[in-house]
């Protein structure tokens, strides 16, 4: 039976929210450069390697992934340049973006950071695989929006920790989606907050739109980047990648799912590709 309690906290005002977002930790400069470079090839692999190598934490995670059993080539990878050769530049850019984000936010009691990042990484891998099944040429961008789609949740939990603990309690008591609990307690949801953050970080409009609208993508005959984020989020939840027995699958916008035109074989390939890489990527980025 669900509770009929009302939130004890008042909603967050727009001014409070904007002030909190301004105080968010800055992303490592190399992460901002990598996200801004998506879809462009002005920089060479050598230039990317030099940029990443300047950040020891990001370089270490890149090497850890390159030397993992999933990608291992029988010899030790000792430099970021070698790692790019093993993983490919697109994978390295996605990995560095994920590692930079994961390292930029403080942990808070009452919010399961590991589950958050496991879902984000699972969504990113699923979005990348979905873009591949749809034969799109923006799989790297799809990975990024999958990774970032819930960044508003992390920001709210970091900037308003006591209030977000009440959101989590409301969600459990009401057995409702995160967004519904956020709106009930805070007066705003993570998708809207995520869009504001993406705009503050000067991300490209398609990334901003995909984050802001990932729970309510517009109906379209052709799958958009927003639609990919929406479908990947649902599939990642359905695969249960966070390890949470109570993980809920958000409702799919059926016209968006239908536009993907995935048959059973394509779905199985998508699931298998996501699951094959998942633990390896998590171990490299979250330890």
Q: Quick: pLDDT tens for 113-130.
A: 889 989 999 999 999 999
Q: Give the domain extent around 127.
A: 108-286
What percent of the chain stands above pLDDT 90? Answer: 34
Given 79, 104, 129, which residue is the final one in a domain? 104
188 and 59 belong to one structural domain: no
71 and 114 belong to one structural domain: no
187 and 251 belong to one structural domain: yes
Please compute the mean of the pLDDT values over residues 194-205 and round it to a whole number.
Answer: 87
189 and 265 belong to one structural domain: yes
Tens-place pLDDT, residues 50-79: 888 888 888 888 888 888 766 666 678 889
The answer to the question of residue 13 being in a domain is: no
**Is residue 261 predicted with pLDDT exceeding 70?**
yes
Q: In the chain, how many domains are there?
A: 2
73 and 58 belong to one structural domain: yes
Please compute the mean of the pLDDT values over residues 272-284 and round it to a whole number.
Answer: 88
The answer to the question of residue 83 being in a domain is: yes
The answer to the question of residue 6 being in a domain is: no
**Is residue 103 predicted with pLDDT exceeding 50?**
yes
87 and 227 belong to one structural domain: no
Please compute the mean of the pLDDT values over residues 190-211 and round it to a whole number.
Answer: 90
Average pLDDT, the chain: 85
Q: How confident is the model at residue 3 (pLDDT cuts 50, 70, 90)?
A: very low
177 and 120 belong to one structural domain: yes
DSSP calls for 202-265? T--HHHHHHHHTTTSPPP-SS--HHHHHHHHHHHHHHTTTT--TTPPPPPP-HHHHHHH---HH
Residue that the structure tokens 């990317």 belong to:
48
Given 45, 70, 104, which residue is the final one in a domain? 104
Q: How far is CA 229 from CA 83, 117, 129, 225, 243, in A?
A: 27, 15, 12, 6, 21
230 and 270 belong to one structural domain: yes
Please compute the mean of the pLDDT values over residues 234-253 and round it to a whole number.
Answer: 87
60 and 125 belong to one structural domain: no
First-last CA distance in the chain: 38
46 and 183 belong to one structural domain: no
**Predicted pLDDT of residue 8:** 53
Please compute the mean of the pLDDT values over residues 269-287 and round it to a whole number.
Answer: 87
Tens-place pLDDT, residues 180-195: 999 999 999 999 999 9
152 and 270 belong to one structural domain: yes
């Amino acid at each position: 039976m669900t509770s009929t309690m009302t939130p004890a906290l008042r909603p967050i005002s727009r001014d409070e929210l904007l002030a909190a977002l301004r105080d968010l930790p800055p992303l490592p400069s190399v992460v901002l450069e990598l996200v801004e470079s998506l879809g462009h090839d002005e920089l060479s692999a050598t230039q990317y390697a030099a940029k990443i190598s300047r950040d020891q934490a990001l370089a270490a995670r890149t090497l850890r992934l390159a030397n993992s059993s999933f990608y291992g080539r029988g010899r030790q990878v000792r430099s970021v340049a070698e790692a790019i050769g093993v993983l490919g530049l697109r994978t390295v850019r996605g990995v560095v973006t994920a590692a930079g984000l994961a390292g930029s936010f403080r942990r808070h009691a009452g919010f399961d950071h590991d589950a958050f990042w496991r879902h984000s990484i699972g969504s990113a891998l699923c979005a990348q695989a979905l873009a591949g099944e749809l034969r799109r040429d923006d799989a790297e961008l799809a990975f990024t929006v999958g990774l970032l789609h819930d960044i508003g949740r992390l920001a709210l939990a970091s900037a308003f920790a006591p209030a977000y603990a009440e959101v989590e309690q409301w969600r459990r008591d009401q057995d409702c989606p995160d967004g519904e609990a956020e709106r009930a307690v805070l007066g705003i949801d993570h998708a809207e907050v995520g869009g504001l953050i993406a705009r503050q970080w000067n991300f490209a409009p398609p990334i901003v739109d995909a984050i802001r609208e990932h729970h309510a993508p517009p109906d379209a005959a052709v799958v958009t980047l927003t639609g990919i984020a929406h479908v990947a989020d649902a599939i990642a939840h359905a695969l249960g990648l966070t390890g949470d027995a109570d993980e809920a699958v958000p409702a799919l916008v059926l016209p968006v799912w239908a536009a993907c035109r995935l048959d059973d074989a394509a779905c199985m390939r998508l699931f298998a590709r996501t699951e094959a890489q998942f633990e390896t990527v998590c171990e490299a980025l979250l330890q």
